[in-house]
Amino acid sequence: MADFLLATLHSGAPASPLLVELVERAFLDYQDGCTKDLADAFGVRTSQKSRRAVATVVRVNDVRRWVDEFHAQGFKKQDPGSYEDTAFHRAGTLLHRSPGQIFNIYYGKG
């Protein structure tokens, strides 16, 4: 159903009565509690493993972006266990994680 809906939206054609009925039924089933996830009705549900993998990539990208930004502002990329006020300390404060966690995520150690 998701492919059918996207193809219709991309083409700019008006939605057919069948498509409107399928979408309405999916939303009603979701509101009534018949399905736990609206993505099930559209056939685009992802596995928990896939969602975790995406979350990990997003977390690593956020950490790298902020550490690099603080490094560009003049903070050093030194081991936060041995030095004070590094880019890892700043990113840790911003992302609510310890500087050691940020260091490990940045360098792929954890």
**17-72 tens-digit pLDDT:** 887 888 888 888 888 888 777 777 777 777 888 889 989 999 999 999 999 999 99
Long-range pairs for 41-44: beta carbons < 8 A, 24 or more residues apart: 41/1, 42/1, 42/2, 42/5, 43/1, 43/2, 44/2
**Signed CA dihedral, 12, 16, 19, 20: sign only:** positive
Six-digit token string for 85: 């006020």
What is this structure's pTM? 0.60
Return the axis-axis angle of helices 48-72 and 87-95, rounded to nearest 10°: 130
Q: What does the radius of gyration of the chain's CA atoms come to, in whole angstroms?
A: 22
